[in-house]
Amino acid sequence: MRMLRAGGVAITLLALQGSPAASQYYDFGGNLRPIDLARCEKLRASLEKAIPIDGTFSVGIERFREGALGLKGRQCRIAAEGPARDRPGAIAPDLDGLAVSVRTVLEEAGWRESERLDRYAKRGQDARAFALRQGRATCWANLAREEGDKAQEAVTRQGQATFPVFFRLTVDCFEG
């Protein structure tokens, strides 16, 4: 393992034994800073328009939670949770469809994939995560889905036709 410093960003190069190619990951190290709040607010507005979650999309500056992949510092967090929004002729959205929608919004705003962000990717039965880069900034998207009591409670509380599936979305954007 080697640490390189380029422009104040530490990059860890890991060589996997037996692997013909070395994997490279960003090691953000040090304290991270949130992206500009106006830039984050613009992403929030685009996500709220495109993502079928019936809930308030919020934006704010927060500290990273303990254990968030060892990240330290602050981030701009865009968050939403609620049942899936019913649209005429729509079928119940699934995590893959929502992940594609979130990725599309970010890519339309100029964010791009990087192999060096693979450690932020997750694909489970009820969760998806991925990260995209733009210059020295990263946005890390996390989506989760619940069915059952919490979803039905949200549907009843909203008092309108929604799918009985409850979603959580966070998009954490930072630079370091």
Alpha helices in the chain (DSSP H): 37-50, 95-108, 149-158
What is the dihedral sign for C-alpha 115, 137, 139, 3? Answer: positive
> Per the domain annotation, does 113 fall within a domain?
yes
pTM value > 0.75 = no
> Per the domain annotation, does 134 fall within a domain?
yes
pLDDT of res. 38: 95
> Per the domain annotation, does 48 fall within a domain?
yes
pLDDT of res. 88: 52
- CA–CA separation, 148 and 173 (whole Å): 31
Counting the structural domains of the chain, the total is 1
Per-residue pLDDT of 157-170, as tens digits, reads: 555 545 567 889 99
What is the dihedral sign for C-alpha 162, 167, 168, 174? Answer: negative
Give yes or no for residue 64 having a pLDDT over 90.
Answer: no
Q: Tally Cβ neighbours within 10 Å of residue 133.
A: 17
> Per the domain annotation, does 86 fall within a domain?
yes
Range with the largest mean pLDDT of 13-22, 89-98, 120-129: 120-129
- Give the domain extent around 74: 32-175
> Per the domain annotation, does 102 fall within a domain?
yes
Q: Which two tokens stand for residue 11?
A: 């990059």
> Per the domain annotation, does 147 fall within a domain?
yes
165 or 81: which leads in pLDDT: 81
> Per the domain annotation, does 26 fall within a domain?
no
> Per the domain annotation, does 5 fall within a domain?
no
Which residue is listed with tokens 């704010």? 60
Q: What does residue 16 show for φ and ψ, rounded to 5 degrees?
A: -85, 125
